[in-house]
Structure 1
Amino acid sequence: MNADAAPDPRRLGVPKEIVDEGARTLRHACRSLNEFVEGLAEGKSVDGMSPADAAWVRSSHHRHRAARSRLWAWAGWNTQLTLGNILDHVQAIQRTLVGEPVAIWSLVSLSRVVQEGAIRVCHLYEGGIAPERRAVRIAAAWLNGAQQHQVAAKDVGAQAVPGADKIWEYAERTVQRAGMSIGLNNRGRPSSAVLGSVQEQFAVSLTNLAAKRPTHLPAWYRISSAASHSSVWMVAQAFASDEDDEPVMRADPEIVTASVLAVLGAFEDLVETLGTYHGTDPHQALLTVRRRTVAVLDRQRTWRHRAQEDARLLHGNDNL
């Protein structure tokens, strides 16, 4: 390495305060989210349903009532599992941040899982939609998961198929008993849940949904997808050379900060959506998430300003 050459910023690693504060922020955010979710039971929801949804189920024909209640029970169970998966991945991000050296694309991929889970949950509990729409949306999500299970079972082996088929049959039977039908695609394969004029496709575009969720970083879902799938245009940006001119990957403070912000944005979406749906005032919890977001941005601005000052001193150029 030429001692007179300007150092590659990626060789310098990520400032300790960026990663330590990022890990601390996520640790506290997880605790806050857990406390908020546990408090949802004290809200105004009835058996996991908003008053409007519960009234719709109660007013349903007696033949459909039990199955429709079961849809919301499945949604609650699905949400519980998804939140567990989200928190598990945030804990993995924390461990990655305090590692040495700090990884880069694993942070991005882990934050993608958090974002996807939040988007799926908030899609089910989206505010302002009619109970009929929510019921069909829940049914479509349930059937979609059961259908994916069947596909995976065939790859695992013949011994896994019967169990997956039973899961599909139970979901299908529940949806039909709830007064819905299952729409087919042009190949004759089940692809949507239908109730009267209301229809929801099994598969949803998470990219489109992410663009509609105000607290998610607009480009992050695509960026994280590129990282998770090892797209060359993305992962090549993290490569540098070590002291022996060997290729290595170096974390970047901007990526670390963006990963933390993606998690905080997902948490904000969950708090607002679930709190509003279950009748629990999300205001204080939202303020907590937003204060942490502002603190993360302030740290990043401070680091960027210091890096610019260091570059001016290093190069002796006030125009940098």
Structure 2
Amino acid sequence: MTDQPGIEDGIPVTFTVPITEPFARAAAQFLKGIRELVTNGFPEGVGGPESPFRRDAAAFDALPEPTREARRSMQGMIFEIVQLAWANALDHIRALEQDLVMQPPPVWSPLTLSRVVMENCLFLHYLIEPGVPVTKRLARCAGLWRTDIDHMEKTARAFGQEQEAQIAETRAYVEQALADVGAVERTNAGGKLIGYEVEGERAALDINITQAAQALPSYLPAPYRILSGATHGRPWMIGRARELARESDESLVGEAATAMTAVMAVIGSLETALAAWGDYFGLDLSETLEKLDDRRRAFFIEAVILTYGEAQ
């Protein structure tokens, strides 16, 4: 869980105690505050000609048709996807705010909600990662687009031939669009599609979240694995909630450590997404990032006081 340096009297700050109402309210209020901060913390528009976004667009202008228009279209798609991912992340933060204050206190649901926030922020980072060549960015988007079509096909089979026919038309459109972009299929020795390549830059069919999580701040220890253990109901993870339950009438009891992990995972994910957004679009988000870091530190101190205040 979230272990931090000990407080002054030597009590280790592991937060392995039940969630109290004051602690839950403070955590929920903190999340509300940072959600509002990052919602309103963006300058309007995008940056100048030296931003990667503008440079990518300029590179497309020198290309012949249909490649030029296809790559412009895919850049627009990337812009729409990251906006969608960001909105979905904020929606789940809002849900987490309510989840933390419910009674009895939540057990593992905070980690499930924060995992969605993390995935969306890492998805955003994957597509607009600073320093990545534009051709790799296109290859990444190609893989994600093709993977989504595969998921849509599998879902359509449950709804009948009409749905399958519609998705077949969509697949044909996507395959042509990827060809126009210049995305070349990559296959393994068995002929199975494993990703795409654009002008020598390769990408897998889908994002590897565990690998992508390396972009998160160092104060988050193994964040994605912990959150996934709770989300997928793995016994090694969820069995922990029985320990505190032995002293109560509940079958499972949530602990403050779980809530702290969820909160810190959320703020670390937001930091990662904001940094990528600012760098790619050429925006100065330093003030927002500084405020975010200041609030994280202040909340941790408040959480320690609320959890261990009586013991000091």
TM-score range, shorter chain: 0.7 to 0.9
The answer to whether structure 1 residue 33 and structure 2 residue 38 are counterparts is yes
Aligned 8 A contact 1:180 1:193 in 2: yes
Shift in Å, 1:127? 0.6
Equivalent position of 2:297 in the other structure = 294
SS at match of 1:36: coil
Cα distance in 2 for residues equivalent to 1:215 and 1:120: 19
Q: What is the CA–CA distance in structure 1 between the aligned matches of 2:144 and 2:29, rounded to whole Å? A: 34
Rounded Cα–Cα distance in structure 2 between residues aligned with 1:216 and 1:70: 38
Deviation by residue 1:206-259 (Cα, 9 ceiling, x = unmatched): 11110233367231211111111111111111124477x654222211111111
Query: Which range moved further: 151-160 or 206-215?
Result: 151-160
SS at match of 2:41: helix
Q: 1:206 aligns with which of 205, 209, 213?
A: 209
Deviation of 1:172 after TM superposition, in Å, equals 1.7
Equivalence for 2:105: 102
Residue 156 to residue 227, structure 1, CA distance change in 2 (3 Å) = farther
Pair 1:131–1:216, CA change in 2 (3 A):
farther
Q: Is 1:164 aligned to residue 177 of structure 2?
A: no
Change (3 A) 1:269 1:40: farther
Report what 1:64 is aligned to: 67
Q: What secondary structure does 1:41 align onto?
A: coil
Q: Does the alignment pair 1:224 with 2:227?
A: yes
- Give 1:92 shift: 1.0
Give, in angstroms, the shift of residue 156 of structure 1.
4.3
Q: Give the 3 Å change call, closer, same or farther, for CA 44–11 of structure 1 in structure 2.
A: closer
Q: 1:179 to 1:12 in 2, by over 3 A?
A: closer
SS in 1 for 2:104: coil
Q: Alignment partner for residue 270 of structure 1, among 268, 273, 277?
A: 273
Moved more, 185-194 or 281-290: 185-194
2:185 matches 1:146: no
Larger radius of gyration: 1
Contact 2:99 2:106 in 1 (8 A): yes
**Residues 11 and 74 (structure 1), Cα distance of their counterparts in 2 relative to 1, 3 Å cut:** closer
Letter paired with 2:212? L
2:48 to 44, 49, 54: 44
Shift of 1:285: 0.8
Structure holding more helix per residue: 1
How does the TM-score come out when normalised to structure 2? 0.86
Structure 1 window deviating more from structure 2 (133-142 vs 11-20): it is 11-20
The one-character-per-residue Cα deviations of 1:132-190 (angstroms, maximum 9, x if unpaired) are 22122222222222222222222444332222223322222111111222223444343
Higher relative contact order (CA 8 A, sep 6+): 2
Q: Which runs of 5+ in 1 are unaligned?
A: 1-9, 310-320
CA contact (8 A) 2:156 2:167 kept: yes
Deviation of 1:82 (Å): 1.4
In structure 2, the residue matched to 1:318 is none
For 1:268, the aligned partner's letter is E
Q: 1:294 to 1:142 in 2, by over 3 A?
A: same
Instruction: Give the Cα–Cα distance (whole angstroms) in 2 for the partners of residues 74 and 163 of structure 1.
Output: 21
Q: Percent identity?
A: 23
Q: Report the Cα distance in structure 2 between the residues aligned to 1:40 and 1:175, rounded to whole angstroms.
A: 31
Please identify runs of 4+ aligned residues in structure 1 that moved more than 4 A: none
Number of aligned residues: 297
**Corresponding position: 1:257 with 2:264:** no
CA RMSD of aligned residues (A): 2.5
Whole-Å separation in 1 of the counterparts to 2:24 and 2:225: 23
